[in-house]
């Protein structure tokens, strides 16, 4: 992509996306500069129309003058003619098969334009925006996501175009991980080896958003899968870069001398769908019980820990996922069905660094249903209340145990129709006490209704200053003035019996 290379032996690259209106060229140029200063050499801008495509031409010329080592990506959704236009000057064009292939235009013609200009292409599949054809054939599933990508990859191969990157994003980390694994397997069967762009969509903000991204992205990097990543946060986009760098650095340090963590994968009896490992039930742990924290184990099951009815597997080397998997394989081979507690000690005293490293290590084990408890230790003396809070966030992000409200929020882009970051903060303040609910806060209707498909309720920008409320995938109140929208959402929760007063 321009001067930036990914795939093969290149380090995993980090990237971000501007959240300003693309027609505000000065704001986008300034934001691109802040992303580049933070260390992101790949920057994406939304180009939803031909006017935005022309604005991006202006932005690209200035960015190349100021920061020639930066690659610019045009994010195209509904209009193939826009993809054709930006292919002449973008370093990469991103299309979404789910809302591209039924809008006219020729994919083969786009490939030829990219070939002539030297532009790369990202086939960006989103869980919530599959084409009607794919939903009809496969449902809203990882299988549908994979086939959507493979349909386009087969055309790329037939046309001899290989400057292609693929992403398989979802706000549900299980869906995301399973979709990427399926894609890798499908490409392998057909002799393809295109690089992969990893990311968890609508991860949210703050520590929770960073943990959720580290769980999903880390689950794949742990197996050597992934060539470029984006941590999508509802924050200024330059904040995404250090979060992404923390994840890549964690795995770069672990794999510097020994390669990837492929051993022990025989522990994955079903790598493409969730399957909980069968264990005996000891008190509140194991069996069908939700995973427990260290403090809960010490309070309730200390005797079982001491007498060996519960297995504690502590990873001490640079490859914890490999260690844990191999230990579980040995237990299964011996018919050992004790509940498993995973343990690891981290040296960091920084709460965010500790959380992201632990999420990148532990998350995949719970996505795969291989453990019954989580034990995070800090050599720096981090209070147990903090490590327990981090552990709960890891379990929630991996869909193993829901203990509080989950906020699914997009990072914002040039299509956002209201002050997304400020609004999310207010929504969190009012609704964080509702345990077990998933609330989506989305900037616009382009990806909003699809990408929040996993949410119970949605707050979606419909027009400037106007919000549409969703129950699941169905809109229930349209075009509410924004000043009234949060109260209207609370009223909807009350009418559905989902509201409780904060304590």
Predicted confidence at residue 414, as pLDDT, reads 78
Give the bridge partners for 14, in sequence order.
229
Rounded (5°) CA angle 269-195-84: 130
Predicted confidence at residue 77, as pLDDT, reads 81
Residues 291 and 187 in one domain: no
Domain that holds residue 100: 13-198
Residue 259 lies in a domain: no
Q: In what order do the strands lie in the sheet with 474-481?
A: 406-409, 438-442, 457-463, 466-471, 474-481
Give the bridge partners for 131, in sequence order.
none
Residues 438 and 377 in one domain: no
Residue 226 lies in a domain: no
Predicted confidence at residue 9, as pLDDT, reads 87
Residues 74 and 27 in one domain: yes
Residues 72 and 179 in one domain: yes
Residues 42 and 141 in one domain: yes
Residue 78 lies in a domain: yes
Residues 179 and 58 in one domain: yes
Handedness of CA 54, 58, 63, 64 (dihedral sign): positive
The three-state DSSP-derived secondary structure of 130-189 is: CCHHHHHHHCCCHHHHHHHHHHHHHHHHHCCCCCEEEEEEECCHHHHHHHHHHHHHHHHH
Among candidate residues 198, 222, 252, the one where a domain is terminated: 198
Per-residue burial over 354-373, b if 16 or more Cβ lie within 10 Å, else e, is bbbbbbbbbbbbbbbbbbbb
Predicted confidence at residue 259, as pLDDT, reads 41
Residues 22 and 142 in one domain: yes
Binding site for [4Fe-4S] cluster: what residues are annotated?
410, 413, 444, 451
> 364 and 321 in contact (C-beta within 8 Å)?
yes
Question: Packing angle between helix 420-431 and helix 482-495, nearest 10 degrees?
Answer: 30
Residue 315 lies in a domain: yes
Give the integer Cα–Cα distance in Å for 275 and 262: 20
**Residue 26 is encoded by which pair of tokens?**
């000065």
Residue 417 lies in a domain: yes
Residues 142 and 166 in one domain: yes
Residue 313 lies in a domain: yes
Give the integer Cα–Cα distance in Å for 249 and 456: 35
Among candidate residues 397, 417, 433, the one where a domain is terminated: 397
Give residues with Cβ within 8 angstroms of 494, minimum separation 6: none
Binding site: what residues are annotated?
410, 413, 444, 451
Give the integer Cα–Cα distance in Å for 494 and 488: 10
CATH number at 172 reads 3.20.20.20
Give the bridge partners for 13, in sequence order.
228
Residues 350 and 451 in one domain: no
Predicted confidence at residue 260, as pLDDT, reads 42
**Residue 276 is encoded by which pair of tokens?**
């909980």
Residue 455 lies in a domain: yes
Residues 412 and 287 in one domain: no
Among candidate residues 141, 175, 198, the one where a domain is terminated: 198
Q: How many domains is the chain partitioned into structurally? A: 3
Residues 326 and 468 in one domain: no
Residue located via tokens 């929504």? 427
What distances in angstroms separate CA 501 from CA 355, 407, 425, 430, one per listed residue? 30, 18, 19, 10
Residuewise pLDDT in 10s, the chain (503 residues): 999 999 998 999 999 999 999 999 999 999 999 999 999 999 999 999 999 999 999 999 999 999 999 999 999 988 899 999 999 999 999 998 876 665 566 899 999 999 999 999 999 998 877 777 888 888 888 999 999 999 999 999 999 999 999 999 998 999 999 999 999 999 999 999 999 999 998 888 899 999 999 999 999 999 999 999 999 999 999 999 999 999 999 998 776 444 444 555 666 778 899 999 999 999 899 999 999 998 898 887 777 787 889 999 999 999 999 999 999 999 999 999 999 999 999 997 799 999 999 999 999 999 999 999 999 999 888 899 999 999 999 999 999 999 888 898 888 787 777 888 898 899 999 999 998 899 999 887 766 666 677 789 999 988 888 999 999 889 999 999 999 999 999 999 999 999 999 87
Residue 190 lies in a domain: yes
Give the integer Cα–Cα distance in Å for 163 and 331: 44
Predicted confidence at residue 36, as pLDDT, reads 98
Q: How many CB atoms lie within 10 A of CB 308?
A: 9
Residues 367 and 314 in one domain: yes
- β-strand pairing of 474-481 with 466-471: antiparallel
């Amino acid at each position: 992509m321009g001067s930036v290379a990914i795939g093969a032996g290149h380090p995993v690259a980090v990237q971000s996306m501007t959240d300003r209106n693309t027609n505000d060229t000065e704001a986008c140029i300034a934001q691109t500069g802040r992303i580049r200063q933070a260390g992101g050499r790949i920057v994406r801008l939304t180009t939803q129309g031909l006017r935005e495509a022309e604005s991006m031409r202006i932005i690209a010329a200035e960015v190349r003058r100021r920061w020639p080592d930066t690659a610019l990506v045009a994010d195209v959704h509904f209009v193939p003619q826009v993809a054709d236009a930006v292919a002449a000057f973008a370093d990469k064009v991103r299309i979404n098969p789910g809302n591209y292939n039924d809008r006219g235009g020729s994919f083969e013609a786009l490939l030829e334009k990219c070939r002539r200009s030297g532009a790369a292409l990202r086939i960006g599949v989103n869980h919530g925006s599959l084409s009607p054809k794919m939903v009809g054939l496969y449902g809203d599933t990882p299988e549908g996501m994979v086939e959507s990508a493979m349909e386009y990859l087969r055309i790329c191969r037939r046309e001899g175009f290989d400057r292609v990157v693929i992403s398989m994003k979802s706000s549900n980390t299980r869906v995301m991980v399973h979709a990427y694994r399926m894609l890798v397997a499908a490409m392998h069967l057909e002799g393809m080896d295109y690089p992969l762009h990893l990311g968890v969509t609508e991860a949210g903000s703050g520590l929770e958003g960073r943990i959720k991204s580290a769980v999903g992205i880390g689950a794949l990097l742990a197996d050597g899968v992934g060539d470029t990543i984006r941590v999508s946060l509802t924050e200024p986009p330059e904040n995404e870069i250090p979060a992404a760098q923390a994840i890549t650095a964690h795995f770069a340090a672990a794999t510097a001398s020994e390669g990837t963590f492929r051993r022990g994968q025989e522990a994955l009896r079903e790598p493409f769908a969730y399957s909980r490992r069968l264990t005996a039930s000891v008190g509140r742990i194991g069996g069908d019980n939700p995973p427990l924290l260290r403090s809960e184990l010490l309070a309730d099951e200390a005797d079982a820990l001491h007498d060996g009815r519960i297995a504690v597997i502590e990873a001490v080397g640079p490859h914890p996922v490999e260690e844990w998997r191999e230990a579980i394989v040995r237990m299964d081979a011996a018919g050992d069905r004790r509940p498993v507690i995973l343990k690891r000690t981290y040296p960091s005293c920084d709460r965010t660094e500790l959380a992201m490293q632990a999420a990148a290590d532990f998350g995949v084990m719970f996505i795969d249903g291989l453990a019954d408890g989580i034990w995070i230790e800090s050599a720096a003396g981090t209070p147990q209340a903090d490590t327990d809070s981090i552990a709960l966030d890891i379990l929630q992000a991996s869909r193993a145990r829901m203990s509080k409200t989950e906020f699914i929020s997009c990072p914002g882009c040039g299509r956002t129709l209201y002050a997304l970051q400020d609004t999310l903060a207010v929504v969190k303040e009012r609704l964080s006490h509702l345990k077990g609910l998933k609330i989506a806060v989305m900037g616009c209707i382009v990806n909003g209704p699809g990408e929040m498909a996993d949410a119970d309720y949605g707050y979606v920008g419909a027009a400037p200053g106007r919000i549409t409320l969703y129950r699941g995938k169905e809109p229930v109140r349209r075009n509410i003035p924004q000043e009234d929208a949060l109260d209207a959402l609370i009223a909807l929760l009350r009418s559905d019996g989902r509201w409780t007063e904060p304590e």
